[in-house]
Amino acid sequence: MSKKIFSGVQPTGNLHLGNYLGAIKNFVELQNEKENKCIFCVVDLHAITVKQEPKELKKNIRETAATFIACGIDPAQSIIFNQSMVSAHSEAAWILSCVSKIGWLNRMTQFKEKAGKDKEKASIGLYSYPVLMAADILLYDATHVPVGDDQKQHLELCRDIAQKFNNDFNAPDFLKVPEPLIQKQFSRIMSLKDGIKKMSKSDPSDLSRVNLTDDKDEILNKIKKAKTDPLPLPEEAKELAKRPEAENLLGIYSSLKNQNLEISVSEFSGKNFSEFKEKLSETLIEKIEPISKEIKRLLNDEKYLDTILLEGFHEADKMASKKIKEIKELVGF
Ligand code: AQP
């Protein structure tokens, strides 16, 4: 069955291995199932929910588009566009925020994590971020949304919002209720410095993540310094339950190799970390170095990137404008 895929990545710099293995790698696989229609968005409206330096943001928008392409998203097959260029996203987000319940948003754990202790000082945008995310998805009648495990709760909220809108306006099935596509294994890549913390762009330590722009030496250094534990690698996957760093590194290796965790565990069973790290670095370099080089090459061709984003805008805007017109009609505008 053909799927309509929508997903986005924030242009907040430092795109990393977690973004790749948790999301972008999956985008490419879905695109390569020829019957699917895929739309990939650089979600800059989401990025400004925390303060961004305007010049950096502009650079990061191009860099995110370059990363999509360098990872294998083909602009001839998939739509790549920049969210803020399509005004329907902001319009739909407002309308949907008027059918969403405060109680629903209060349950979102990502807001709690990102706002930290000082919730009063977080932006309203950060709080209502999941409503904008629902608007992004629902404007395109997306049937499936590939995301990392951290976005699961936002996807559930999106489904609730779609159903509530359809009920409130007596329009059964008008907004399509999307299915999340979350990989069964390795859907949450953890920090290289702490196996219970998500690998993240905003971690102040660059050693906590492999960036998709890292070169060979940077990857070697980061894996060398990655946190481990004193034991040799286990004989069985179930022994990883209390060894988060070992589990994460073996998970990264397995995901890069497209193999089950059990196979990786048996490959390194009883070996010490230094031997495993050598193999992991080699595998990472093989995968990430060409991506990193291609991102850098594409960034030197701003004209090309801007053309891709402009073409993507025209296609996305056609669909989104039609849907927002229908939404406004239903609301009574
Ligand atoms: N560590 C991760 N493991 C697996 N998937 C991940 N994703 C992010 N981090 C991991 C997935 O990448 C996609 C794009 O993410 P985003 O741009 O929306 O940003 P995010 O989830 O907020 O990413 P970060 O790195 O955690 O950013 P900061 O530090 O700014 O909060 C999503 O599908 C996400 O699930």
- Residue having the nearest C-alpha atom to atom 34 of ligand 1: 148
Average pLDDT of span 230-259:
95
Q: Where are the domains of the chain?
A: 4-188+302-331, 206-297
pLDDT at 144: 97
Mean pLDDT of the chain: 96
Residue of higher predicted confidence among 193 and 119: 193
Average pLDDT of span 114-127:
91
Q: Which of 181, 200, 202, 203 to mutate to test the pocket of ligand 1 (most atoms within 8 A of CB)?
A: 200
CA of 200 to the centre of ligand 1 (A): 6
Reported confidence tier of residue 31, pLDDT bands at 50, 70, 90: very high
Choose the CATH number for 206-297 among 1.10.240.10, 3.30.300.30, 3.30.365.10, 1.10.760.10.
1.10.240.10
Which ligand 1 atom sits nearest the alpha carbon of residue 12?
30
pLDDT at 14: 86
Residue 327 has pLDDT above 90, yes or no: yes
- Give the DSSP letter of residue 185: S
146 close to ligand 1 (CB < 6 Angstrom): no
Which ligand 1 atom sits nearest the alpha carbon of residue 149?
35
Residue 1 has pLDDT above 80, yes or no: no
CA distances from 36 to 28, 31, 102, 111, 310 (A): 11, 6, 35, 32, 22
At 40 the three-state DSSP class reads strand
- Give 182's contacts (C-beta < 8 A, 6+ positions apart): 146, 147, 148, 149, 151, 152
154 close to ligand 1 (CB < 6 Angstrom): no
Residue 8 has pLDDT above 90, yes or no: yes
pLDDT at 117: 82
Residue 318 has pLDDT above 80, yes or no: yes
pLDDT > 70 in the chain, percent: 100
**Residues forming the active site:** 114, 198, 201
13 close to 63: Cβ distance less than 8 angstroms: yes
* Nearest CA-CA partner of 187 in 144, 152, 240, 148: 148
Q: Which of 16, 150, 181 to mutate to test the pocket of ligand 1 (most atoms within 8 A of CB)?
A: 150
* Predicted TM-score (pTM) of this structure: 0.95
Residue of higher predicted confidence among 113 and 219: 219
Average pLDDT of span 223-241:
95
pLDDT at 198: 94
CA distances from 220 to 59, 85, 253, 288 (A): 27, 39, 14, 12
pLDDT at 271: 96
198 close to ligand 1 (CB < 6 Angstrom): yes
pLDDT at 76: 97
155 close to ligand 1 (CB < 6 Angstrom): no
Reported confidence tier of residue 156, pLDDT bands at 50, 70, 90: very high
CA of 270 to the centre of ligand 1 (A): 33
Amino acid residing at 229: D
19 close to ligand 1 (CB < 6 Angstrom): yes
pLDDT at 155: 97
pLDDT at 5: 98
Average pLDDT of span 135-149:
96
| Check whether domain 4-188+302-331 has CATH 1.20.120.550, yes or no | no
58 close to 185: Cβ distance less than 8 angstroms: no
Residue 183 has pLDDT above 90, yes or no: no
| Tokens matching residue 229 | 């534990």
42 close to ligand 1 (CB < 6 Angstrom): no
- Residue having the nearest C-alpha atom to atom 12 of ligand 1: 19
147 close to ligand 1 (CB < 6 Angstrom): yes
37 close to ligand 1 (CB < 6 Angstrom): no
